[in-house]
Structure 1
Amino acid sequence: MSRIIKSNRLIISPSVELGIFEPNNNIPEPVNIISETEEMVRILLQKADRKANEIINQAKAEVQELLDNAADEAKKIKEQAFQKGYEDGHEAAEKQMEGMKKQILAEVDQLHHEAARKKDNYLLEVKEDLIELAIDTAQKIICQQLTLQPDAISAIVNNVLKEANPKMQERIIIQVAPNSLHALGEAISHNKISWPADRLEVEANPDLTIGSCIIIAPSGTYQLIIEEAIEKLKKLFQGAEINE
């Protein structure tokens, strides 16, 4: 029974390897695009976090304004009660101040809850939108680069072969997207594929997109699917915490 091993790693930071390509495979753009996309997402999320903090700070300022106004009003009420010098006036002032205090505390509590809700909603909405935009853009640029540089398929295949490490005597089948077939054939004819040409076959797989490949060998099936790699990157971003 053959094994299916998925190679869907991308390099998104020095500490997190997901790798599609090895860094020395001379692929000028796609890997860098993933790293740049990660940085772009982080920067945008930090901006979103600063915006959310502005919401909180604004709420705090409103609370402080309420408290300052309440203190001024309480002072006026006490002065009026003192000037009247009447017991009933003093008692009425105390009741009025107590009612004002309860009202202000309720407004402060409401402001805190509203600010927290706005912050949470804002961060969730912005985070999802930014991740979708950044990942979608990265995927389109990667596909564009692979289209403009069709010989990049040889580095992709070699990387999967290196990771799969099938036995050298095995006869293997390499499947790529139809529009990558010619470039792969050229790479084989120029000995750019690290596998004996007499022990490999090349097939076009209409289910594959440019940049993806499947290697079928007696010891197992090895594959790199661009969409799966991008989806994995997307999930990593969705699960990432926002830095303060």
Structure 2
Amino acid sequence: MLAHVRRASILETVRQTGSVQVAEIAGRLAVSEMTIRRDLVDLEREGHLKRLHGGAVALQGIAVDREEPSFDARLSRDRGAKERVAAAALPLVDDARTVALDVGATAFLLAQLLRARVGLHLFTNSLRIAAALSDGAQQVFVPGGRVRGTEMAIGGPDAVAAFAKLWFDVAFLGVSGLTADGLFDYSIEDTEVKRVYLGRSSRKVVLCDASKFQRMSLVRVAGFDTVDTLVTDAMPPPDIQAALDAAGVEVILAPPAASSGA
């Protein structure tokens, strides 16, 4: 198949669905995955799409975050929305005993709401969350591994191996962005632990305020087929909502901020 014919087919798929997967398009066009990857490199260079792990997404309406803001910056940005998302997620802990908390600002706010809960076993790869819970009413567990800088996140093979042996009633995941193609995050190491949470939990919950819709960053964590629930503060855009519906993901909307008017 001629290169221009392949690339036209790739672009048509991206226009129709918003994304393309290397393995899927290679099988459909009966060419190697390496050939498709080279096509994606050329199409990205020409400004037609944005490559990501395992495929590419349409550029229109998608913002790409190339650098990870500090934790304090992320916590202060849209903090009110994050607090409402954390509060809306809190009832999901009611029937749980073993709870996994991912790194991230919204997960940190949820952890603070859990400090008074008795009888919980909380597992986290965030030293910041562990410290916040250290004088709480529950037991807190962290894995061994390498600590990632000011993020205070534990990652690496040891952390993955430690938590991969466990099973959680519910896991709460933070993300840097959400598109119709799934969940994104800044850090490869953090992403490895997120995938353990997704694979080792009865209920997988994503915490994501609306400012992260149509944003992507370095790593695609997973598709929506690995998620049970999204807790957010506004309805997702139509293409993301369609992808959530197709995957059967429950969407829980946090109540709006209380009015300060009379």
When Rg is computed on C-alpha atoms for both structures, the one with the higher figure is 1
Greater relative CO, 1 or 2 (CA 8 Å, sep 6+): 1
Q: Return the structure number with greater strand share.
A: 2
Q: Give the TM bin, normalised by the shorter chain.
A: under 0.3
Q: Return the structure number with greater helix share.
A: 1
